[in-house]
């Protein structure tokens, strides 16, 4: 099921929140630029497994996921709400969010 042109609501929501605050947006754009710069040096690119664009996307998606998880105020807690938040974040298509930041 898609939502507003995104894979699902969770992906749309994460992208919205990462893009809606100027400081967070600029931080994510900075991470995207770093991943784009690191991509040519990725071993999978050097081995011809991935093109540079895929390496940048996969590097960025991992870093965006880590960034969001670090911001989670319920991280490490065993509650109904932490379980629901974890479930929602697990539905996020991090590659799609990364692609959006790399396209800009």
- Ordered per-residue pLDDT tens for the chain, 104 residues: 799 999 999 999 999 999 999 999 999 999 999 999 999 999 999 999 999 999 999 999 999 999 999 999 998 899 999 999 999 999 999 999 999 999 97
Answer whether residue 11 is part of any domain. Answer: no
Bridge partner residues of 6 (DSSP): 3
Q: Where are the beta strands (DSSP E) in 1-104?
A: none
Q: What is the per-residue pLDDT for 75?
A: 86
Q: What is the per-residue pLDDT for 104?
A: 77
Distance CA 34, CA 28 (A): 10
**Domain that includes residue 66, residue range:** 18-103
Tally of domains within the chain: 1
Give the global pTM: 0.91
Q: What is the per-residue pLDDT for 64?
A: 98
Answer whether residue 1 is part of any domain. Answer: no
């Amino acid at each position: 099921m898609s939502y507003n042109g995104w894979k699902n609501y969770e992906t749309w929501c994460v992208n919205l929140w990462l893009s809606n605050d100027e400081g967070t947006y600029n931080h994510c754009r900075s991470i995207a630029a770093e991943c784009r710069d690191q991509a040519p040096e990725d071993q999978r690119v050097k081995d011809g497994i991935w093109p540079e664009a895929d390496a940048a996307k996969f590097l960025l998606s991992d870093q965006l996921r880590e960034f969001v998880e670090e911001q989670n105020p319920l991280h490490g807690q065993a509650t109904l709400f932490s379980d629901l938040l974890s479930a929602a974040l697990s539905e996020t298509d991090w590659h799609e969010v990364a692609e959006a930041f790399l396209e800009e």
